[in-house]
Structure 1
């Protein structure tokens, strides 16, 4: 299994975060993660009606942009929002986005 690419906090770039947040499916994903805190990739994907490979793409975009953090436990990937990191880099951005999802 290959290593997951996840930027350090100081390497998170606004343009990449905006790109990640510009897709309705990815907004659904972060909305669910905001509500649950942390969930498996398959758990989040259960309620979103897109193909599994498409979900993998969305998870990768979110992870590589610095919006989410992915951890491996055995064969399961768990995803969570990088709230503290995003708040440190771009204060108020994530809260503003999440407020629009309600």
Structure 2
């Protein structure tokens, strides 16, 4: 089985997390993972960009420590590193997710 590199919790930096969350497409991925509250395959998050761009966005989130990715068979499954992020930056993830949901509810593009 292929293992993907993830930063240890001690290596997660606020600047990298904020950079990862600053992109609207990556923010939509995080919102979808939060709403699902389970492991989600990449293909379940609907983004209007190319497959290679989607792969890039997931990689940025993983390398920043925002998500965990694991292979389950041939599918790459994604989940938020909520416990790690909440321990390092209390309230940050919840605030970002609430803002992303509000933005989506008022009709702004994701």
Q: Given the two structures, how large is their TM-score scaled by the length of structure 2?
A: 0.86
Supply the RMSD in Å over aligned alpha carbons: 1.2
Give 3-state SS (helix, strand or coil) of 2:15's partner: helix
Give 3-state SS (helix, strand or coil) of 1:49's partner: coil
* Structure 2 runs not aligned, ≥5 long: 102-110
Question: After TM superposition, where is structure 1 displaced by more than 3 Å over at least 4 residues in a row?
Answer: none
Bigger radius of gyration among the two: 2
Q: How does 1:42-81 map to 2 (within 5 A)?
A: 42-44=43-45, 47-81=46-80
* Structure 1 runs not aligned, ≥5 long: none
Residue deviations 1:68-96 (CA, integer Å, cap 9, x gap): 00011111100001100000111110011
Is 1:89 aligned with 2:88? Answer: yes
Distance in structure 2 (CA, Å) of the matches to 1:81 and 1:71: 12
- How many correspondences in the alignment? 100
Contact kept, 8 Å, 2:2 with 2:71, in 1: the verdict is no
Is 1:8 aligned with 2:38? Answer: no
Q: Given the two structures, how large is their TM-score scaled by the length of structure 1?
A: 0.93
Residue deviations 1:47-79 (CA, integer Å, cap 9, x gap): 211100000000000000000000111111000
